[in-house]
Structure 1
Amino acid sequence: MSQPERVRSMVPLEILPLPRPLDRFGSAFPSSLADLYANAYTPRRGVVLDPLAYPWSAADAAERADRRGVAKSREPLGEWARRAVALAPAGDEILAALDRVGESALVGTPHRVAMRELYGSTCATCRGPVIVEAFFWERDAPTPTKKAFRCGICAREGHALLIEAATEDDERSSQRLDERGMAYWQFVERFGPDPNAQALGETTAALYTPRNLTALMATLRAVETAVSPSPARDVLLLCVLEVVISGSRLNTLAGRGAPLRIEKGRARRSHASQSREVNVWLEFDRTVRELVAWLAQHPSPARPRSATLALDTGDADLVLCQAPVEDALGGWSAVAAVALLGMRGAKPSDAGDGRAVGRERLLRTMRGALIDAHRGSRPDAPAVVYVPQADLASIAAVALAGAGAGYRLRGIT
């Protein structure tokens, strides 16, 4: 193609639903958009740069369009997650690694057994032993008020989810662990000696119940010790991200965990009146199995080129990305980079409430991403930004970000 073709057309969009935890990063980039703009602006096997990369973002959509998708991001978690999925081994290998995690022993007790004991309770109807899937808390209450579980004796052989009032034994078990016990300090230690980083670690640790923080750190320890560094371990660590978020007090009754908001370097608590304390091990196990089943049907578009993802492809022919209109992770991205990947020094930007703050965050994120993209692409390479659920404020923020990065607005489709 001698001259880049300008594209002005409406394109029907089909967006692939993503499983946990991939949907935490954002929605899949529409493959029809990637096909359209890649064919218009790049040669076959040309380079498409995505400066806001994550699994199934524009970089992966470009791979499906027979281009070389290059994934970059100022926040390393999304870029790492994309590489982890591209390098993911066969499902049997991941499930075997999961079994090793469950059987790993600390002080003689297999991890899976210790987690059953941690979330163990009794059915109020038959008094049989059950594993609680979630405890429900009122805001600032000292103990949970309700519990959700499946009883294999009296409730449809364990298929029906029952919700009952918490018992005195449940209340005592919730208070058995110290607020600032060993798990608390193990979590904070990962943030390093810097006082500001420790403040973020301490305020984030306070977002968990002692039981869930104990389960989270024990599960993370089991993954890190039972599975040697490998693509399988990276997939397991990616699934730990799900319980880092859903296991916190930001998990409301109707949700799966809200984005983490950070003000003045400290994690901010939710204002919700109720929260859900999920079973961390059960959620982790389910997340791994769901992701393995999904990847068997939807292998990463970058998988054929997984061995060369880290190689320098040269200047990009096209910059293509999706604007993060809905920041599903927020500060969790920086927290997970520290807690899961050991990347100390991650500095999350402060966030707050209100549409004005959201627009400012979008403008700041897009400007930084497009500045990096401008440096990594050819001088005349165009940039195309897909803005999902667009409103005038979001479009204006993206346009201003492009102008601040050195691009000239050619049009809005």
Structure 2
Amino acid sequence: MDTGPLSRFLPPLEEGVVSTWLSHHAPAGGWLLDPFGFSPRLALEAARSGHRVLVTANNPITRFLLEIFANPPPESEFIAALADLGAVKKGDERLENHLRSLYFTQCEKCEQQIEAQAFLWRRGEEAPYARVYECKHCGDSGERTSTEGDLERARKIADTDRLHRSRAFERVVSLNDEDRVYAEEAIQHYLPRPLYVLTTITNRLDSLNLSGNRKRALTALTLLTCDAGNTLWTHPAERPRPKQLSTPNQFREHNLWMMLETGLGLFSSTGADVPCVAWPNKLPETGGICMYEGRLRDLAHEVKKEIPIAAVIGSIPRPNQAFWTFSALWAGWLWGREAVEPYKNALRRRRYDWAWSATALHAMFTHLNELLADDVPVFGLMPEAEPPFMTAALTAAQTAG
């Protein structure tokens, strides 16, 4: 299973599938269209195969992932970015030490103070029932019952939660915004401790004077913690790919500083060294990715006039309320309210049924039918195929002509 950044939300694709199909249906150097923009890996594989890929992507998070997967900063920049963040002062101590201290616990065997890797919670309770650790002093490891110190630390952080929760809201929507209630509902899937860590990091992300590459690296690491910090981590891991915004009965609260460290090599290992530009900038004939920030219907006239599409590729989106709602939150936390505005529908909508999916796909296929010549091949992948999903997609395609 793919363990890359945000892999639990992105389509699970087998390497080589799209490039093999393209070798039989589209000559290298030509233009491909990915109208869904749902799978960064698919677009990258096509571009590495020597094709120019026009990707329309309305989701700011998948756009960012595609851009950073195509040209990730070197691992040294990720390491330096985390070091810069950790060196910032929080009162009289380094920020790294302050954030690590939030996860301190006591080893059950040797009673030394150590860092927990995670705390385990039951939905609706005010403190964790267990912690997970690996003691470097005596070697004791595993899941252990929470101590009174763990409970007291959780209560102390919860006492300041209202302030940090309010700050988290205001990075997504303004105080008088009618969509504030939806942001509040979504942020309920963050416990006080991870929310405090995230607001602290995103505030520093704004204030640190970093080079372009280093800021991209720190933004990517922060995105990992945005996902690691929510309550959609079932314990034990029965639902590794959540679709609904629903906190499980038992869940895992990760140590977010450890998650930052885990991410140091994740993005650099995706390095594709693929040219990646924003529309309407030009690409070399040797291949690359051109990203359009928006929907296909807004670009259709320009595409028809300027770009000879040789084939359409894409991972057909399976409805995912959790990822789409979180994407709106994370965009606000990383880049501010302006980044959320074009994607606010995802924040508002609470239910995506198969009828909604069929209607949305029908609209997309209708646009494609009007845009493309009759002989243009279309390759749509459904990596998580199930009967209702296949019915929605095939019905939409057939009725669109």
Q: TM-score, normalised by structure 1?
A: 0.79
Q: Which is further off, 50-59 or 61-70?
A: 50-59
Matching of residue 245 in structure 1 with residue 227 in structure 2: yes
Matching of residue 344 in structure 1 with residue 340 in structure 2: yes
Confirm or deny: 8 A CA contact 1:58 1:322 kept in the other structure: yes
Q: CA deviation at 1:28?
A: 3.4
Matched AA of 2:186: T
Matched AA of 2:82: L
Matching of residue 317 in structure 1 with residue 310 in structure 2: yes
2:276 to 306, 323, 336: 306
Q: CA deviation at 1:76?
A: 2.8
Q: CA deviation at 1:188?
A: 0.5
Q: CA deviation at 1:380?
A: 4.8
Q: Which is further off, 115-124 or 198-207?
A: 198-207
Deviations 1:264-323 (A, max 9, x none): xxxx542x221211111211221233333x23xxx22xx242357762572422111112
Matching of residue 333 in structure 1 with residue 318 in structure 2: no
Cα 1:31–1:364 shift into 2, 3 Å: farther
Q: CA deviation at 1:48?
A: 0.8
Matched AA of 1:289: G
1:398 is aligned to: 393
For 1:48-67, what aligned pairs fall within 5 Å after superposition?
48-54=32-38, 56-67=40-51
* SS in structure 2 at match of 1:329: helix
Confirm or deny: 8 A CA contact 1:216 1:243 kept in the other structure: yes
Cα 1:98–1:361 shift into 2, 3 Å: farther
Q: TM-score, normalised by structure 2?
A: 0.81
Q: CA deviation at 1:237?
A: 2.1
For 1:230-379, what aligned pairs fall within 5 Å after superposition?
230-255=212-237, 259=242, 261=244, 269-270=246-247, 272-292=248-268, 294-295=269-270, 299-300=271-272, 303-306=273-276, 311=281, 314-325=307-318, 327=320, 329-342=323-336, 343-345=339-341, 346-348=344-346, 350-352=349-351, 358-371=353-366, 373=368, 377=372
Deviations 1:333-369 (A, max 9, x none): 22222222321322216344xxxx5433542453454
CA distance in 1, matches of 2:368, 2:58: 11
Cα 1:211–1:304 shift into 2, 3 Å: closer
Cα 1:25–1:392 shift into 2, 3 Å: closer
Q: CA deviation at 1:212?
A: 1.3
Confirm or deny: 8 A CA contact 2:13 2:383 kept in the other structure: no
Matched pairs, number:
369
Matching of residue 190 in structure 1 with residue 184 in structure 2: no
Matching of residue 94 in structure 1 with residue 74 in structure 2: no
Q: CA deviation at 1:84?
A: 1.9
Q: CA deviation at 1:85?
A: 2.0
CA distance in 2, matches of 1:310, 1:251: 40
Cα 1:189–1:25 shift into 2, 3 Å: same
Task: Report which structure shows greater RCO (CA 8 Å, sep ≥6).
Answer: 2
Confirm or deny: 8 A CA contact 1:132 1:279 kept in the other structure: yes
Gaps of 5+ in 2: 284-306
2:133 to 124, 149, 160: 149
- Spell out structure 1 runs of 4+ moving beyond 6 A: none
Cα 1:174–1:368 shift into 2, 3 Å: farther
* SS in structure 2 at match of 1:153: coil
Q: Percent of counterpart pairs with the same letter?
A: 18
1:206 to 173, 179, 188: 188
Query: Counting helix residues as a fraction of each chain, which structure ranks higher?
Result: 2
CA distance in 2, matches of 1:370, 1:309: 22
2:210 to 228, 245, 270: 228
Cα 1:337–1:370 shift into 2, 3 Å: farther
CA distance in 1, matches of 2:130, 2:253: 10
Matched AA of 1:382: P
Cα 1:332–1:308 shift into 2, 3 Å: closer
CA distance in 2, matches of 1:373, 1:75: 19
CA distance in 1, matches of 2:190, 2:386: 35
Confirm or deny: 8 A CA contact 2:69 2:267 kept in the other structure: no
Q: CA deviation at 1:215?
A: 0.9
Matched AA of 2:317: P
Q: CA deviation at 1:214?
A: 0.5
Cα 1:109–1:150 shift into 2, 3 Å: same
CA distance in 1, matches of 2:255, 2:234: 14
CA distance in 2, matches of 1:171, 1:233: 35
* SS in structure 2 at match of 1:72: strand
* SS in structure 2 at match of 1:130: strand
Q: CA deviation at 1:23?
A: 4.9
Q: RMSD of the TM alignment (CA)?
A: 2.8
CA distance in 1, matches of 2:59, 2:5: 20
Deviations 1:139-159 (A, max 9, x none): 21221111111211111xxxx
1:176 is aligned to: 156
Gaps of 5+ in 1: 1-15, 262-267, 409-413
Deviations 1:252-275 (A, max 9, x none): 2123876464xxxxxx542x2212
CA distance in 2, matches of 1:148, 1:391: 35
Q: Which is further off, 224-233 or 139-148?
A: 224-233
